[in-house]
Amino acid sequence: MTALLVTGTAAAQGGEQYLYLRTPNAAITARVTGDSVTSPDLQLSRDGKTLRGRAFGQTVFLGLNGKELGGTVGRELTRLSFEDEDGVTHARGSFYGRVSELSISQEALTGTVGACSYDLKATKDGSYVGSRSCGGPPERPVILDIPPALAKQGPAMTLATLGLILGVP
């Protein structure tokens, strides 16, 4: 995630930066500014080592500590530990009350978060494109753009935010 933290995956447009997740059945767009991520479905704010707010109608309270994040999303416990190994960030633990495992590099994003499994490859423009499955048949195409403003907030904030949007079917 080191390289991802330096550049993000998507170029900023007009000074504003957005996190995008597009699937055949859903579209999430969130504005990333300073220590906040906002959209109609996300109202997240980081205060030091704490991420608080709401995501998809659920209260979010997560501690962002070193190589771990933990707390609650709605009524479900969340605890992920993560490490960088040869340019790949591996996160393991639970998110949305389910076992989760996610690997992120400049080449790919793969794994399971909540009810959804992802197999995304990086494109030349820095987006991730591929498929996901959330308990049913694979959905294609799935497109994910991570803006530099989010990546610069550090791996714990990036993983927490990605976990919140990727784990929603």
Percent of residues, the chain, with pLDDT higher than 70: 91
Residue 115 has pLDDT above 60, yes or no: yes
Residue-wise pLDDT tens digits, 87-111 = 999 999 999 889 999 999 999 999 9
Check residue 169 and give its pLDDT. 78
pTM, entire model = 0.89
Query: How many secondary structure helices (H) and strands (E) does the chain include?
Result: 3, 14
Interval 17-37 mean pLDDT: 94
pLDDT in tens, 40-83: 999 999 999 999 999 999 999 999 988 999 999 999 999 999 99
Question: Residue 147 has what DSSP assignment?
Answer: -
Domains identified in the chain, total number: 1
Q: Would you say residue 6 has pLDDT above 50?
A: no
* 57 in Cβ contact with 71 (< 8 Å): no
The Cβ-side half-sphere exposure at 19, using a 13 Å CA radius, reads 25
Separation CA 135–CA 54 (nearest Å): 24
Per the DSSP assignment, residues forming a β-bridge with 157 are none
- What's the chain's average pLDDT? 90
**7 pLDDT more than 70:** no
- Residue ranges making up the domain that contains 70: 2-166
**pLDDT number for residue 154:** 87
